[in-house]
Amino acid sequence: MPSPYRAIFSAPGTTSFSVAGFFGRMPLSMMGIGIVTMISQVTGRYGLAGALSATLAMSAAVLGPQVSRLVDRHGQRRVLRPVTLISLAAAAGLLLCVQQKAPDWTLFAFTAVIGVVPSVGAMTRARWADIYRGDARSLHTAYSWESIVDEVCFIFGPIISIGLSTTWFPEAGPLLAGVFLAIGVFWLTAQRETEPQPHPQPAVKRGSALRSPGLQVLALAFVATGAIFGSVDVVTVAFAEERGQKAAASLVLAVYALGSCLAGAVFGLLHLKGEPSRRWLLGVCAMAVSMIPLLLAGNLPLLAVALFVAGLSIAPTMVTTMALVEKHVPHTQLTEGMTWTGTGLAIGVALGSSAAGWVVDASGAESAYVVPVVSGALAVVVAVLGHRRLRRPVPNREGRDEHEDSGTGELQDGGRPVA
Q: What is the pLDDT of residues 212-251, one digit of tens each?
A: 777 888 888 989 998 898 788 778 877 887 888 776 777 8
Residue 411 has pLDDT above 50, yes or no: no
Indicate the number of domains in the chain: 2
* Residue ranges making up the domain that contains 85: 16-133+153-198
Q: What is the mean pLDDT of residues 313-322?
A: 84
CA–CA gap between residue 206 and residue 39 (Å, rounded): 43
Q: Examine the domain organization and report whether 41 and 184 are in the same domain.
A: yes
Residue 410 counted as domain residue? no
Q: Examine the domain organization and report whether 74 and 188 are in the same domain.
A: yes
Q: Examine the domain organization and report whether 229 and 162 are in the same domain.
A: no
Q: Which residue has the higher pLDDT, 44 or 236?
A: 236
> Can you tell me whether residue 416 is helix, strand or coil?
strand
Q: What is the mean pLDDT of residues 58-67?
A: 82
Q: What is the pLDDT confidence band of residue 326, given thresholds at 50, 70 and 90?
A: confident
Residue 261 counted as domain residue? yes
Q: Examine the domain organization and report whether 232 and 317 are in the same domain.
A: yes
Q: What is the mean pLDDT of residues 144-149?
A: 81
Q: What is the mean pLDDT of residues 263-278?
A: 78
**Range in 149-158, 168-177, 251-260 the model is least confident about:** 149-158
Residue 83 has pLDDT above 90, yes or no: yes
Residue 5 counted as domain residue? no
Residue 407 counted as domain residue? no
Note whether 277 and 393 are within 8 A (CB): no
Q: Which residue has the higher pLDDT, 336 or 397?
A: 336
pLDDT at 368: 86
Residue 412 has pLDDT above 70, yes or no: no
| This prediction's pTM | 0.73
Residue 407 has pLDDT above 60, yes or no: no
Neighbours of 377 (CB within 10 A): 14
Residue 408 has pLDDT above 60, yes or no: no
Residue 365 counted as domain residue? yes
Q: Examine the domain organization and report whether 24 and 167 are in the same domain.
A: yes
Average pLDDT of the chain is 80
CA–CA gap between residue 220 and residue 227 (Å, rounded): 11
Percentage of the chain with pLDDT > 90?
21
Q: What is the pLDDT confidence band of residue 413, given thresholds at 50, 70 and 90?
A: very low
Q: Examine the domain organization and report whether 259 and 366 are in the same domain.
A: yes
Q: Examine the domain organization and report whether 111 and 259 are in the same domain.
A: no
Residue 284 counted as domain residue? yes
Q: Examine the domain organization and report whether 215 and 113 are in the same domain.
A: no
> Can you tell me whether residue 395 is helix, strand or coil?
coil
Q: Examine the domain organization and report whether 64 and 22 are in the same domain.
A: yes
pLDDT at 205: 53
Q: Examine the domain organization and report whether 292 and 384 are in the same domain.
A: yes
| CATH code: domain of residue 375 | 1.20.1250.20
Q: Examine the domain organization and report whether 192 and 215 are in the same domain.
A: no
Whole-number Cα distances in Å, 158 to 2, 312, 316: 28, 20, 22
Nearest to 233 by CA among 379, 364, 111, 371: 371
Q: Examine the domain organization and report whether 299 and 354 are in the same domain.
A: yes
